[in-house]
Chain A
Amino acid sequence: MATGTTRIWRGAGAIGGFVVITLLTFIGLMAITFFIGRVIPIDPVLAVVGDRATQEQYDAARAAMGLDQSLPVQFLHYIGDVFRGDLGRSVSTNRPVAEDLAVVFPATLEMATLGIIIGVAIGVPLGVWAAARQGTWIDQVIRVVALLGYSVPAFWLGLVGLAVFYAGLGWVAGPGRVDIFYEGLVEPRTGLMLVDAALAGDWEVFFNALDHLLLPAAILGFFSLAYIARMTRSFMLDQLGQEYVTTARVKGVPEWRVIWTHAFRPIRVPLITVIGLSYAALLEGSVMIETVFSWPGIGNYLTVALLNADMNAVLGATLVIGAVFILINRFSDVLYRILDPRSR
Protein backbone atom coordinates (compact mmCIF):
# COMPACT_ATOMS: atom_id res chain seq x y z
CA MET A 1 0.00 0.00 0.00
CA ALA A 2 1.21 3.46 -0.86
CA THR A 3 1.37 5.75 2.14
CA GLY A 4 1.04 9.50 2.00
CA THR A 5 4.79 10.13 2.10
CA THR A 6 5.66 7.77 -0.75
CA ARG A 7 2.98 9.39 -2.81
CA ILE A 8 4.49 12.81 -2.15
CA TRP A 9 7.95 11.47 -3.07
CA ARG A 10 6.60 10.00 -6.25
CA GLY A 11 4.98 13.32 -7.08
CA ALA A 12 8.24 15.16 -6.38
CA GLY A 13 10.17 12.69 -8.54
CA ALA A 14 7.69 13.11 -11.36
CA ILE A 15 7.95 16.90 -11.15
CA GLY A 16 11.78 16.74 -11.03
CA GLY A 17 11.88 14.52 -14.11
CA PHE A 18 9.34 16.79 -15.74
CA VAL A 19 11.53 19.87 -15.22
CA VAL A 20 14.72 18.19 -16.47
CA ILE A 21 13.16 16.63 -19.58
CA THR A 22 11.24 19.81 -20.39
CA LEU A 23 14.39 21.91 -20.11
CA LEU A 24 16.33 19.51 -22.37
CA THR A 25 13.53 19.57 -24.93
CA PHE A 26 13.48 23.38 -24.83
CA ILE A 27 17.21 23.46 -25.51
CA GLY A 28 16.63 21.06 -28.40
CA LEU A 29 13.92 23.37 -29.72
CA MET A 30 16.25 26.34 -29.45
CA ALA A 31 18.98 24.38 -31.23
CA ILE A 32 16.58 23.83 -34.12
CA THR A 33 15.47 27.46 -34.37
CA PHE A 34 19.12 28.57 -34.00
CA PHE A 35 20.15 26.19 -36.76
CA ILE A 36 17.32 27.37 -39.02
CA GLY A 37 18.34 30.96 -38.36
CA ARG A 38 21.90 30.13 -39.45
CA VAL A 39 21.16 28.24 -42.66
CA ILE A 40 18.95 30.91 -44.16
CA PRO A 41 20.36 32.28 -47.37
CA ILE A 42 19.64 35.86 -46.24
CA ASP A 43 22.76 37.53 -44.82
CA PRO A 44 21.60 39.12 -41.51
CA VAL A 45 24.51 41.58 -41.52
CA LEU A 46 23.77 42.77 -45.03
CA ALA A 47 20.15 43.29 -44.00
CA VAL A 48 21.31 45.72 -41.29
CA VAL A 49 24.07 47.68 -43.03
CA GLY A 50 22.71 47.63 -46.58
CA ASP A 51 24.64 46.61 -49.68
CA ARG A 52 26.50 49.94 -50.05
CA ALA A 53 28.44 49.52 -46.79
CA THR A 54 32.23 49.33 -46.88
CA GLN A 55 34.08 46.23 -45.73
CA GLU A 56 35.00 47.96 -42.44
CA GLN A 57 31.40 48.90 -41.71
CA TYR A 58 30.32 45.36 -42.57
CA ASP A 59 32.93 43.81 -40.26
CA ALA A 60 32.05 46.19 -37.43
CA ALA A 61 28.35 45.35 -37.72
CA ARG A 62 29.19 41.66 -37.90
CA ALA A 63 31.23 41.90 -34.69
CA ALA A 64 28.51 43.97 -32.98
CA MET A 65 25.96 41.25 -33.80
CA GLY A 66 28.29 38.61 -32.37
CA LEU A 67 28.48 36.73 -35.65
CA ASP A 68 32.28 36.63 -35.66
CA GLN A 69 32.28 34.27 -32.68
CA SER A 70 32.23 30.47 -32.90
CA LEU A 71 28.89 28.75 -33.36
CA PRO A 72 28.72 27.22 -29.83
CA VAL A 73 29.37 30.65 -28.28
CA GLN A 74 26.71 32.17 -30.53
CA PHE A 75 24.30 29.44 -29.44
CA LEU A 76 24.96 30.16 -25.75
CA HIS A 77 24.29 33.85 -26.38
CA TYR A 78 21.11 32.90 -28.20
CA ILE A 79 19.89 30.77 -25.26
CA GLY A 80 20.70 33.64 -22.88
CA ASP A 81 18.74 36.07 -25.06
CA VAL A 82 15.75 33.77 -25.27
CA PHE A 83 15.62 33.21 -21.51
CA ARG A 84 15.78 36.96 -20.98
CA GLY A 85 12.79 37.26 -23.31
CA ASP A 86 14.76 38.91 -26.13
CA LEU A 87 13.65 37.43 -29.43
CA GLY A 88 15.08 40.18 -31.58
CA ARG A 89 13.29 42.88 -33.52
CA SER A 90 10.69 42.31 -36.19
CA VAL A 91 11.60 43.91 -39.50
CA SER A 92 8.00 44.43 -40.58
CA THR A 93 6.45 45.80 -37.36
CA ASN A 94 9.72 47.40 -36.13
CA ARG A 95 8.93 46.31 -32.58
CA PRO A 96 10.51 43.64 -30.36
CA VAL A 97 9.15 40.23 -31.41
CA ALA A 98 8.43 39.32 -27.77
CA GLU A 99 6.10 42.34 -27.41
CA ASP A 100 4.31 41.50 -30.66
CA LEU A 101 3.80 37.93 -29.51
CA ALA A 102 2.40 39.04 -26.15
CA VAL A 103 -0.26 41.02 -28.04
CA VAL A 104 -1.26 38.28 -30.50
CA PHE A 105 -1.03 35.22 -28.27
CA PRO A 106 -4.25 35.80 -26.23
CA ALA A 107 -6.28 35.86 -29.47
CA THR A 108 -5.02 32.37 -30.34
CA LEU A 109 -5.56 31.17 -26.78
CA GLU A 110 -9.16 32.37 -26.83
CA MET A 111 -9.93 30.55 -30.08
CA ALA A 112 -8.13 27.33 -29.13
CA THR A 113 -9.80 27.22 -25.71
CA LEU A 114 -13.31 27.54 -27.09
CA GLY A 115 -12.28 24.98 -29.73
CA ILE A 116 -11.19 22.39 -27.18
CA ILE A 117 -14.36 22.97 -25.12
CA ILE A 118 -16.43 22.21 -28.23
CA GLY A 119 -14.22 19.24 -29.07
CA VAL A 120 -14.51 17.65 -25.61
CA ALA A 121 -18.21 18.41 -25.15
CA ILE A 122 -19.12 16.68 -28.42
CA GLY A 123 -16.20 14.30 -29.00
CA VAL A 124 -16.34 12.37 -25.71
CA PRO A 125 -20.08 11.54 -25.85
CA LEU A 126 -19.75 10.62 -29.54
CA GLY A 127 -16.87 8.26 -28.81
CA VAL A 128 -18.76 6.63 -25.94
CA TRP A 129 -21.87 6.32 -28.11
CA ALA A 130 -19.91 4.71 -30.96
CA ALA A 131 -18.34 2.19 -28.58
CA ALA A 132 -21.67 1.34 -26.97
CA ARG A 133 -23.18 0.70 -30.42
CA GLN A 134 -20.11 -1.01 -31.86
CA GLY A 135 -20.62 -2.39 -35.35
CA THR A 136 -23.94 -0.62 -35.99
CA TRP A 137 -24.44 2.12 -38.56
CA ILE A 138 -24.14 4.73 -35.78
CA ASP A 139 -20.65 3.45 -35.07
CA GLN A 140 -19.76 3.51 -38.78
CA VAL A 141 -21.00 7.08 -39.22
CA ILE A 142 -19.07 8.29 -36.18
CA ARG A 143 -15.93 6.47 -37.40
CA VAL A 144 -16.12 8.10 -40.83
CA VAL A 145 -16.74 11.53 -39.27
CA ALA A 146 -13.68 10.96 -37.09
CA LEU A 147 -11.59 9.92 -40.11
CA LEU A 148 -12.75 13.07 -41.93
CA GLY A 149 -11.01 14.99 -39.17
CA TYR A 150 -7.76 13.47 -40.47
CA SER A 151 -8.50 14.06 -44.14
CA VAL A 152 -10.09 17.49 -44.48
CA PRO A 153 -7.69 20.42 -44.89
CA ALA A 154 -8.40 22.93 -42.10
CA PHE A 155 -8.02 25.93 -44.41
CA TRP A 156 -10.48 24.43 -46.89
CA LEU A 157 -13.07 23.80 -44.18
CA GLY A 158 -12.57 27.37 -43.00
CA LEU A 159 -13.24 28.75 -46.49
CA VAL A 160 -16.28 26.53 -47.01
CA GLY A 161 -17.54 27.48 -43.53
CA LEU A 162 -17.24 31.17 -44.42
CA ALA A 163 -19.02 30.64 -47.72
CA VAL A 164 -21.89 28.67 -46.14
CA PHE A 165 -22.46 30.13 -42.67
CA TYR A 166 -21.34 33.72 -43.22
CA ALA A 167 -22.08 34.52 -46.87
CA GLY A 168 -24.83 31.98 -47.49
CA LEU A 169 -26.87 31.70 -44.31
CA GLY A 170 -25.64 34.77 -42.44
CA TRP A 171 -25.62 32.91 -39.12
CA VAL A 172 -22.24 34.17 -37.98
CA ALA A 173 -20.05 37.22 -38.44
CA GLY A 174 -17.18 37.23 -40.93
CA PRO A 175 -13.39 37.36 -40.57
CA GLY A 176 -11.70 39.32 -37.81
CA ARG A 177 -12.22 39.43 -34.04
CA VAL A 178 -14.98 42.08 -33.85
CA ASP A 179 -16.81 44.32 -36.28
CA ILE A 180 -14.65 47.25 -37.31
CA PHE A 181 -16.70 49.86 -35.39
CA TYR A 182 -16.37 47.90 -32.13
CA GLU A 183 -12.60 47.77 -32.40
CA GLY A 184 -10.69 49.38 -29.53
CA LEU A 185 -13.86 50.01 -27.51
CA VAL A 186 -12.92 47.80 -24.59
CA GLU A 187 -9.67 48.19 -22.73
CA PRO A 188 -7.45 45.12 -23.33
CA ARG A 189 -6.82 43.84 -19.80
CA THR A 190 -6.33 40.14 -20.44
CA GLY A 191 -6.19 40.29 -24.23
CA LEU A 192 -9.08 37.80 -24.32
CA MET A 193 -11.82 39.75 -26.07
CA LEU A 194 -14.70 37.91 -24.36
CA VAL A 195 -13.24 38.33 -20.87
CA ASP A 196 -12.34 41.99 -21.46
CA ALA A 197 -15.80 42.80 -22.75
CA ALA A 198 -17.45 41.00 -19.84
CA LEU A 199 -15.21 42.78 -17.33
CA ALA A 200 -16.10 46.12 -18.90
CA GLY A 201 -19.77 45.11 -18.84
CA ASP A 202 -20.03 45.88 -22.54
CA TRP A 203 -22.34 43.09 -23.65
CA GLU A 204 -22.78 44.46 -27.15
CA VAL A 205 -19.07 43.95 -27.81
CA PHE A 206 -19.16 40.60 -26.00
CA PHE A 207 -21.83 39.15 -28.25
CA ASN A 208 -20.25 40.61 -31.37
CA ALA A 209 -16.91 39.04 -30.43
CA LEU A 210 -18.65 35.72 -29.72
CA ASP A 211 -20.31 35.94 -33.12
CA HIS A 212 -16.91 36.27 -34.77
CA LEU A 213 -15.30 33.59 -32.62
CA LEU A 214 -17.93 30.90 -33.01
CA LEU A 215 -17.18 29.67 -36.55
CA PRO A 216 -13.36 29.47 -36.39
CA ALA A 217 -13.55 27.88 -32.93
CA ALA A 218 -16.14 25.37 -34.10
CA ILE A 219 -13.95 24.41 -37.07
CA LEU A 220 -10.91 24.01 -34.84
CA GLY A 221 -13.14 22.08 -32.44
CA PHE A 222 -14.11 19.68 -35.22
CA PHE A 223 -10.51 18.56 -35.60
CA SER A 224 -10.06 17.90 -31.89
CA LEU A 225 -13.51 16.29 -31.83
CA ALA A 226 -12.39 13.80 -34.47
CA TYR A 227 -9.29 12.80 -32.53
CA ILE A 228 -11.00 12.76 -29.12
CA ALA A 229 -13.97 10.71 -30.38
CA ARG A 230 -11.63 8.17 -32.03
CA MET A 231 -9.55 7.73 -28.90
CA THR A 232 -12.58 7.66 -26.56
CA ARG A 233 -14.12 4.95 -28.70
CA SER A 234 -11.02 2.76 -28.60
CA PHE A 235 -10.56 3.25 -24.82
CA MET A 236 -14.22 2.42 -24.22
CA LEU A 237 -14.04 -0.71 -26.39
CA ASP A 238 -11.10 -1.91 -24.28
CA GLN A 239 -13.14 -1.45 -21.11
CA LEU A 240 -16.40 -2.89 -22.46
CA GLY A 241 -14.55 -6.09 -23.35
CA GLN A 242 -13.42 -6.59 -19.75
CA GLU A 243 -14.95 -9.17 -17.48
CA TYR A 244 -16.03 -6.75 -14.77
CA VAL A 245 -18.36 -5.13 -17.31
CA THR A 246 -19.91 -8.52 -18.11
CA THR A 247 -20.27 -9.14 -14.37
CA ALA A 248 -22.04 -5.82 -13.90
CA ARG A 249 -24.39 -6.60 -16.78
CA VAL A 250 -25.12 -10.07 -15.42
CA LYS A 251 -25.95 -8.54 -12.06
CA GLY A 252 -28.62 -6.50 -13.82
CA VAL A 253 -27.02 -3.05 -13.66
CA PRO A 254 -28.82 -0.80 -16.16
CA GLU A 255 -26.85 -0.31 -19.41
CA TRP A 256 -26.42 3.46 -18.98
CA ARG A 257 -24.85 2.85 -15.57
CA VAL A 258 -22.58 0.13 -16.96
CA ILE A 259 -21.35 2.57 -19.59
CA TRP A 260 -21.08 5.80 -17.64
CA THR A 261 -20.11 4.64 -14.15
CA HIS A 262 -18.35 1.32 -14.70
CA ALA A 263 -16.66 1.58 -18.08
CA PHE A 264 -16.20 5.33 -18.39
CA ARG A 265 -14.60 5.92 -14.99
CA PRO A 266 -11.27 4.15 -15.70
CA ILE A 267 -10.74 5.91 -19.04
CA ARG A 268 -10.89 9.42 -17.60
CA VAL A 269 -7.16 9.39 -16.87
CA PRO A 270 -5.95 8.42 -20.37
CA LEU A 271 -8.52 10.86 -21.79
CA ILE A 272 -6.77 13.72 -19.97
CA THR A 273 -3.63 12.97 -21.98
CA VAL A 274 -5.61 12.83 -25.19
CA ILE A 275 -7.30 16.16 -24.44
CA GLY A 276 -3.95 17.72 -23.56
CA LEU A 277 -2.44 16.49 -26.82
CA SER A 278 -5.32 17.77 -28.89
CA TYR A 279 -5.22 21.14 -27.14
CA ALA A 280 -1.58 21.41 -28.16
CA ALA A 281 -2.48 20.33 -31.69
CA LEU A 282 -5.16 23.05 -31.80
CA LEU A 283 -2.54 25.72 -31.16
CA GLU A 284 -0.75 24.37 -34.21
CA GLY A 285 -3.91 24.01 -36.27
CA SER A 286 -4.78 27.62 -35.54
CA VAL A 287 -2.06 28.71 -37.98
CA MET A 288 -4.22 27.73 -40.96
CA ILE A 289 -7.55 28.78 -39.47
CA GLU A 290 -6.23 32.18 -38.41
CA THR A 291 -4.91 32.83 -41.90
CA VAL A 292 -8.32 32.08 -43.42
CA PHE A 293 -10.27 34.11 -40.84
CA SER A 294 -7.77 37.01 -40.63
CA TRP A 295 -7.72 36.28 -36.90
CA PRO A 296 -5.01 38.45 -35.32
CA GLY A 297 -3.37 35.58 -33.42
CA ILE A 298 0.06 34.02 -33.36
CA GLY A 299 -0.60 31.80 -36.40
CA ASN A 300 -1.53 34.77 -38.55
CA TYR A 301 1.51 36.63 -37.21
CA LEU A 302 3.70 33.69 -38.21
CA THR A 303 2.36 33.40 -41.76
CA VAL A 304 2.56 37.15 -42.37
CA ALA A 305 6.16 37.10 -41.12
CA LEU A 306 6.91 34.13 -43.40
CA LEU A 307 5.68 35.97 -46.47
CA ASN A 308 7.72 39.05 -45.53
CA ALA A 309 10.85 36.92 -44.86
CA ASP A 310 10.89 38.48 -41.37
CA MET A 311 13.10 35.78 -39.84
CA ASN A 312 13.23 37.07 -36.25
CA ALA A 313 9.46 37.07 -36.11
CA VAL A 314 9.23 33.62 -37.75
CA LEU A 315 11.72 32.03 -35.36
CA GLY A 316 10.25 33.83 -32.34
CA ALA A 317 6.74 32.63 -33.13
CA THR A 318 8.04 29.11 -33.86
CA LEU A 319 9.83 29.12 -30.52
CA VAL A 320 6.78 30.28 -28.57
CA ILE A 321 4.33 27.88 -30.25
CA GLY A 322 6.87 25.06 -29.85
CA ALA A 323 7.42 25.90 -26.17
CA VAL A 324 3.70 26.00 -25.37
CA PHE A 325 3.19 22.78 -27.34
CA ILE A 326 5.99 21.01 -25.42
CA LEU A 327 4.76 22.37 -22.09
CA ILE A 328 1.19 21.13 -22.62
CA ASN A 329 2.46 17.73 -23.81
CA ARG A 330 4.77 17.30 -20.85
CA PHE A 331 2.17 18.57 -18.41
CA SER A 332 -0.49 16.12 -19.53
CA ASP A 333 2.12 13.36 -19.42
CA VAL A 334 2.97 14.16 -15.78
CA LEU A 335 -0.68 14.56 -14.86
CA TYR A 336 -1.31 11.10 -16.29
CA ARG A 337 1.47 9.61 -14.17
CA ILE A 338 0.22 11.28 -10.99
CA LEU A 339 -3.43 10.36 -11.55
CA ASP A 340 -3.04 6.84 -12.92
CA PRO A 341 -3.75 4.45 -10.02
CA ARG A 342 -1.47 1.78 -11.53
CA SER A 343 1.59 3.97 -11.03
CA ARG A 344 0.86 4.59 -7.34
Chain B
Amino acid sequence: MTPEILEIIDLKVDFCLQGKINQAVGGVSLFIRDHETVVLAGESGSGKTVTALSITGILPPNALIAQGKILYRGRDLLTLGEDALSRIRGNQIAYIFQEPGAYLNPVLSIGDQLSETIILHQGLTKEAAREEAAELLALVKIRDPKDIIRSYPHQLSGGMNQRVFLAMALACKPRILIADEPTTSLDVTVEAKMLELLMGLKKEIGFALLFITHNLSIAKKIADRIYVMYRGKIVEEGDQDKILTRPEHAHTKELVAAFEKIGKL
Protein backbone atom coordinates (compact mmCIF):
# COMPACT_ATOMS: atom_id res chain seq x y z
CA MET B 1 0.00 0.00 0.00
CA THR B 2 1.40 3.39 -0.99
CA PRO B 3 1.94 5.86 1.85
CA GLU B 4 -0.32 8.82 2.52
CA ILE B 5 0.71 11.96 0.69
CA LEU B 6 -1.85 14.14 2.44
CA GLU B 7 -3.47 13.71 5.78
CA ILE B 8 -5.97 16.02 7.41
CA ILE B 9 -6.36 15.47 11.15
CA ASP B 10 -9.31 16.83 13.10
CA LEU B 11 -9.72 20.05 11.08
CA LYS B 12 -12.07 22.68 12.45
CA VAL B 13 -12.84 25.83 10.48
CA ASP B 14 -14.96 28.71 11.75
CA PHE B 15 -16.55 31.50 9.74
CA CYS B 16 -17.23 34.89 11.19
CA LEU B 17 -20.49 36.22 9.77
CA GLN B 18 -21.87 39.52 11.05
CA GLY B 19 -20.07 39.12 14.34
CA LYS B 20 -21.30 35.57 14.88
CA ILE B 21 -19.05 32.56 14.68
CA ASN B 22 -20.35 29.64 12.63
CA GLN B 23 -18.59 26.36 12.38
CA ALA B 24 -18.23 25.28 8.75
CA VAL B 25 -16.01 22.30 9.32
CA GLY B 26 -16.23 20.50 12.63
CA GLY B 27 -13.41 18.02 13.01
CA VAL B 28 -12.69 16.47 9.63
CA SER B 29 -10.04 13.79 9.28
CA LEU B 30 -9.14 12.23 5.96
CA PHE B 31 -6.14 11.02 4.07
CA ILE B 32 -5.09 10.54 0.46
CA ARG B 33 -2.49 8.08 -0.72
CA ASP B 34 -0.13 8.80 -3.56
CA HIS B 35 -1.81 8.24 -6.96
CA GLU B 36 -5.15 7.57 -5.32
CA THR B 37 -8.51 9.00 -6.33
CA VAL B 38 -10.50 10.08 -3.30
CA VAL B 39 -14.00 11.46 -3.63
CA LEU B 40 -15.31 13.83 -0.99
CA ALA B 41 -19.09 13.63 -1.39
CA GLY B 42 -21.86 15.52 0.28
CA GLU B 43 -24.65 17.96 -0.27
CA SER B 44 -23.94 21.65 -0.82
CA GLY B 45 -23.07 23.55 2.32
CA SER B 46 -21.66 20.47 4.01
CA GLY B 47 -18.16 21.95 4.20
CA LYS B 48 -16.47 20.17 1.29
CA THR B 49 -15.11 23.28 -0.38
CA VAL B 50 -13.99 24.85 2.88
CA THR B 51 -12.08 21.67 3.69
CA ALA B 52 -10.43 21.79 0.27
CA LEU B 53 -9.48 25.48 0.50
CA SER B 54 -8.04 24.93 3.98
CA ILE B 55 -5.43 22.55 2.61
CA THR B 56 -3.26 25.30 1.14
CA GLY B 57 -4.71 28.10 3.23
CA ILE B 58 -6.68 29.97 0.59
CA LEU B 59 -9.83 30.44 2.66
CA PRO B 60 -11.77 33.73 2.50
CA PRO B 61 -10.57 36.39 4.98
CA ASN B 62 -13.45 35.84 7.37
CA ALA B 63 -12.59 32.17 7.88
CA LEU B 64 -10.35 30.88 10.61
CA ILE B 65 -8.80 27.46 11.04
CA ALA B 66 -9.51 26.84 14.68
CA GLN B 67 -7.86 23.50 15.10
CA GLY B 68 -6.25 20.62 13.27
CA LYS B 69 -3.27 19.49 11.28
CA ILE B 70 -2.80 19.19 7.54
CA LEU B 71 0.16 16.95 6.84
CA TYR B 72 1.58 17.06 3.34
CA ARG B 73 4.41 14.56 2.98
CA GLY B 74 4.89 14.70 6.71
CA ARG B 75 4.96 18.52 7.03
CA ASP B 76 2.13 20.38 8.71
CA LEU B 77 1.00 23.00 6.17
CA LEU B 78 -0.82 24.97 8.85
CA THR B 79 2.46 25.82 10.56
CA LEU B 80 4.14 27.02 7.35
CA GLY B 81 4.60 30.69 6.57
CA GLU B 82 2.96 32.38 3.60
CA ASP B 83 6.14 32.12 1.49
CA ALA B 84 6.64 28.43 2.02
CA LEU B 85 2.95 27.77 1.42
CA SER B 86 2.85 29.69 -1.85
CA ARG B 87 5.71 27.55 -3.15
CA ILE B 88 3.47 24.52 -2.63
CA ARG B 89 0.26 26.07 -3.98
CA GLY B 90 -0.17 25.64 -7.70
CA ASN B 91 3.13 23.84 -7.81
CA GLN B 92 2.70 20.65 -5.76
CA ILE B 93 -0.93 21.02 -4.81
CA ALA B 94 -3.14 22.45 -7.54
CA TYR B 95 -6.85 23.20 -7.79
CA ILE B 96 -9.56 23.24 -10.36
CA PHE B 97 -12.90 24.77 -9.52
CA GLN B 98 -16.53 24.79 -10.48
CA GLU B 99 -17.60 27.36 -13.12
CA PRO B 100 -14.30 27.96 -14.89
CA GLY B 101 -15.80 31.08 -16.45
CA ALA B 102 -15.96 32.81 -13.09
CA TYR B 103 -12.72 31.37 -11.77
CA LEU B 104 -10.66 32.57 -14.71
CA ASN B 105 -9.74 36.25 -14.72
CA PRO B 106 -11.92 37.99 -17.36
CA VAL B 107 -9.39 40.69 -18.24
CA LEU B 108 -6.29 38.52 -18.72
CA SER B 109 -5.66 36.38 -21.78
CA ILE B 110 -5.56 32.59 -21.50
CA GLY B 111 -1.86 32.70 -22.35
CA ASP B 112 -1.14 35.20 -19.57
CA GLN B 113 -2.98 33.17 -16.98
CA LEU B 114 -1.28 29.95 -18.00
CA SER B 115 2.25 31.26 -18.29
CA GLU B 116 1.95 33.14 -15.01
CA THR B 117 2.04 29.87 -13.07
CA ILE B 118 4.87 28.49 -15.17
CA ILE B 119 7.02 31.60 -14.77
CA LEU B 120 6.35 31.66 -11.06
CA HIS B 121 7.16 28.06 -10.20
CA GLN B 122 9.54 27.00 -12.95
CA GLY B 123 11.35 30.26 -13.50
CA LEU B 124 11.00 30.18 -17.28
CA THR B 125 11.23 33.30 -19.42
CA LYS B 126 8.05 34.83 -20.80
CA GLU B 127 8.58 33.38 -24.28
CA ALA B 128 9.48 29.91 -23.03
CA ALA B 129 6.47 29.98 -20.72
CA ARG B 130 4.17 30.80 -23.63
CA GLU B 131 5.57 27.87 -25.61
CA GLU B 132 5.01 25.67 -22.60
CA ALA B 133 1.47 27.06 -22.25
CA ALA B 134 0.67 26.06 -25.83
CA GLU B 135 1.96 22.55 -25.14
CA LEU B 136 -0.18 22.32 -22.02
CA LEU B 137 -3.23 23.28 -24.04
CA ALA B 138 -2.40 20.52 -26.48
CA LEU B 139 -2.08 18.15 -23.52
CA VAL B 140 -5.70 18.83 -22.53
CA LYS B 141 -6.74 18.14 -26.14
CA ILE B 142 -7.40 21.70 -27.22
CA ARG B 143 -7.05 22.22 -30.94
CA ASP B 144 -5.29 25.35 -32.24
CA PRO B 145 -3.55 26.09 -28.93
CA LYS B 146 -1.76 29.06 -30.54
CA ASP B 147 -5.10 30.77 -31.15
CA ILE B 148 -6.54 29.90 -27.78
CA ILE B 149 -3.53 31.38 -26.03
CA ARG B 150 -4.45 34.80 -27.37
CA SER B 151 -8.13 34.58 -26.49
CA TYR B 152 -9.97 35.55 -23.35
CA PRO B 153 -12.22 33.39 -21.15
CA HIS B 154 -15.45 35.01 -22.40
CA GLN B 155 -14.66 33.88 -25.94
CA LEU B 156 -14.54 30.19 -24.99
CA SER B 157 -17.24 27.71 -24.04
CA GLY B 158 -17.57 26.35 -20.50
CA GLY B 159 -16.02 23.05 -21.50
CA MET B 160 -13.08 24.77 -23.18
CA ASN B 161 -12.51 27.00 -20.17
CA GLN B 162 -12.48 23.99 -17.90
CA ARG B 163 -9.83 22.37 -20.11
CA VAL B 164 -7.80 25.56 -19.91
CA PHE B 165 -8.21 25.46 -16.17
CA LEU B 166 -7.06 21.86 -16.05
CA ALA B 167 -4.03 22.77 -18.15
CA MET B 168 -3.27 25.59 -15.73
CA ALA B 169 -3.53 23.27 -12.73
CA LEU B 170 -1.29 20.67 -14.31
CA ALA B 171 1.29 23.22 -15.47
CA CYS B 172 3.75 22.26 -12.75
CA LYS B 173 2.93 18.55 -12.65
CA PRO B 174 1.41 18.67 -9.16
CA ARG B 175 1.54 15.78 -6.69
CA ILE B 176 -2.05 16.41 -5.67
CA LEU B 177 -4.92 17.83 -7.71
CA ILE B 178 -7.92 19.09 -5.80
CA ALA B 179 -10.94 19.25 -8.07
CA ASP B 180 -13.89 21.08 -6.55
CA GLU B 181 -17.02 20.11 -8.49
CA PRO B 182 -15.15 20.67 -11.76
CA THR B 183 -17.91 19.27 -13.94
CA THR B 184 -21.00 20.56 -12.18
CA SER B 185 -21.47 23.54 -14.48
CA LEU B 186 -20.95 21.51 -17.64
CA ASP B 187 -23.60 19.60 -19.56
CA VAL B 188 -23.64 15.82 -19.43
CA THR B 189 -21.73 14.98 -22.62
CA VAL B 190 -19.05 17.57 -21.89
CA GLU B 191 -18.87 16.26 -18.34
CA ALA B 192 -18.19 12.71 -19.53
CA LYS B 193 -15.40 13.90 -21.84
CA MET B 194 -13.92 16.04 -19.12
CA LEU B 195 -13.82 13.14 -16.66
CA GLU B 196 -12.24 10.91 -19.26
CA LEU B 197 -9.58 13.52 -19.95
CA LEU B 198 -8.95 14.07 -16.25
CA MET B 199 -8.55 10.39 -15.46
CA GLY B 200 -6.34 9.89 -18.53
CA LEU B 201 -4.02 12.69 -17.48
CA LYS B 202 -3.99 11.38 -13.94
CA LYS B 203 -2.62 8.10 -15.22
CA GLU B 204 -0.15 9.90 -17.46
CA ILE B 205 1.18 12.40 -14.94
CA GLY B 206 0.53 10.39 -11.82
CA PHE B 207 -0.98 12.73 -9.24
CA ALA B 208 -3.27 11.99 -6.35
CA LEU B 209 -6.79 13.30 -6.92
CA LEU B 210 -9.16 14.71 -4.34
CA PHE B 211 -12.44 15.05 -6.19
CA ILE B 212 -15.25 16.96 -4.54
CA THR B 213 -18.76 16.34 -5.76
CA HIS B 214 -22.35 15.93 -4.72
CA ASN B 215 -22.83 13.52 -7.58
CA LEU B 216 -22.46 9.89 -6.57
CA SER B 217 -22.57 8.65 -10.14
CA ILE B 218 -19.27 10.43 -10.76
CA ALA B 219 -17.95 8.88 -7.56
CA LYS B 220 -18.90 5.51 -8.90
CA LYS B 221 -16.96 6.13 -12.11
CA ILE B 222 -13.70 7.36 -10.65
CA ALA B 223 -13.36 6.82 -6.89
CA ASP B 224 -11.01 4.47 -5.14
CA ARG B 225 -12.31 5.58 -1.78
CA ILE B 226 -15.17 7.85 -0.78
CA TYR B 227 -15.66 10.17 2.18
CA VAL B 228 -19.22 11.29 2.85
CA MET B 229 -19.51 14.69 4.46
CA TYR B 230 -22.58 16.02 6.23
CA ARG B 231 -22.93 19.25 8.19
CA GLY B 232 -19.20 19.82 8.53
CA LYS B 233 -18.32 16.29 9.55
CA ILE B 234 -17.22 13.12 7.81
CA VAL B 235 -20.05 10.71 8.53
CA GLU B 236 -18.79 7.72 6.64
CA GLU B 237 -15.73 6.58 4.75
CA GLY B 238 -14.60 3.54 2.87
CA ASP B 239 -13.86 1.92 -0.44
CA GLN B 240 -16.17 2.84 -3.27
CA ASP B 241 -17.82 -0.53 -3.20
CA LYS B 242 -18.57 -0.39 0.49
CA ILE B 243 -20.05 3.11 0.44
CA LEU B 244 -22.19 2.67 -2.64
CA THR B 245 -23.50 -0.83 -2.00
CA ARG B 246 -23.45 -1.20 1.78
CA PRO B 247 -23.86 2.30 3.23
CA GLU B 248 -24.17 2.37 7.01
CA HIS B 249 -24.82 5.96 8.03
CA ALA B 250 -28.37 7.23 7.60
CA HIS B 251 -27.27 10.20 5.47
CA THR B 252 -25.19 8.02 3.13
CA LYS B 253 -28.13 5.67 2.74
CA GLU B 254 -30.33 8.60 1.83
CA LEU B 255 -27.86 9.86 -0.78
CA VAL B 256 -27.37 6.45 -2.30
CA ALA B 257 -31.11 5.81 -2.36
CA ALA B 258 -31.69 9.14 -4.08
CA PHE B 259 -29.27 8.29 -6.85
CA GLU B 260 -30.64 4.78 -7.22
CA LYS B 261 -34.10 6.20 -7.57
CA ILE B 262 -33.17 8.26 -10.61
CA GLY B 263 -31.24 5.32 -12.03
CA LYS B 264 -27.88 7.07 -11.97
CA LEU B 265 -26.06 4.48 -9.90
A binds B: no
Q: Which residues of A contact B (CB under 8 A)?
A: none
Q: Which residues of B contact A (CB under 8 A)?
A: none
